[in-house]
Structure 1
Amino acid sequence: MKPSNDTVTLHILDKEYAIACPQDERDNLQRASQYLDERMRQIRATGKVIGADRIAVMAALNISHELLLERNKLEAESQGREKQLSLMLGKLEQALSRQDD
């Protein structure tokens, strides 16, 4: 059974948006909109970017950049763990082969 979509009202940079959203994703959507609103307000406060569209694009670029940095960090950590596991497996195989001798 599909979750029902409810309309959620979000406030982003002094504008109101009604968004259809599954009930179980409502909290995540509200947190995301609050984060976006904060980032857009920070950009607007610098006075360097004028216009809601430009502010939204700059916020999207900044958030995308953060996401990519975190994704790269997680991938590097994962590769490090895989390398450690591979080394440990190699040592375990060596130890087991010595026992077979």
Structure 2
Amino acid sequence: MSNRAVEITLLGRTYSIACPEGREAALHAVASEVESQLSTLKARTNNLSREELAIMAALNIGNQLFEEKQQNKQYMAQMDERISLLQATLENALIERSHKDD
């Protein structure tokens, strides 16, 4: 898979980013989310430099990612628990059936 240059704009500056073919829409979606974060931060704190805005946005996005990962871990633990319960229920039903067949 080859890369191609995709242009995105953040805070009025255009950047040319190497992007794998077929992933352009994802890059634009991510850039849109980053732009939203940057614009919100800029509106709240007019005195931050671009670098400081970028760091704050990265921390906010990193925190969102961390929270999502924690929720996924909880979800996976719940699913594992449900699967175990279903397995135990099926095993018990098969055992009961085999006893009735005897």
The 4+ residue runs of structure 1 with deviation greater than 6 A are none
Structure 1 residues not aligned, in runs of 5+: none
TM-score by length of 2: 0.88
> What is aligned with 2:96?
98
Which residue matches 1:82?
A: 80
Tell me the TM-score normalised to structure 1 length. 0.89
Note the C-alpha offset of 1:48: 6.2
Count of paired positions: 99
What is the aligned-residue RMSD (CA, Å)?
A: 1.4
Call closer, same or farther: CA 1:9–1:54 in 2, change over 3 Å. Answer: same
What is residue 60 of structure 1 aligned with on the other side?
A: 58
Structure 2: gaps spanning 5 or more residues: none
Residue identity in the other structure for 2:97: Q
| 1:25-40 matches, cutoff 5 A | 25-40=23-38
Task: Measure, in 1, the Cα distance between the counterparts of 2:71 and 2:53.
Answer: 27
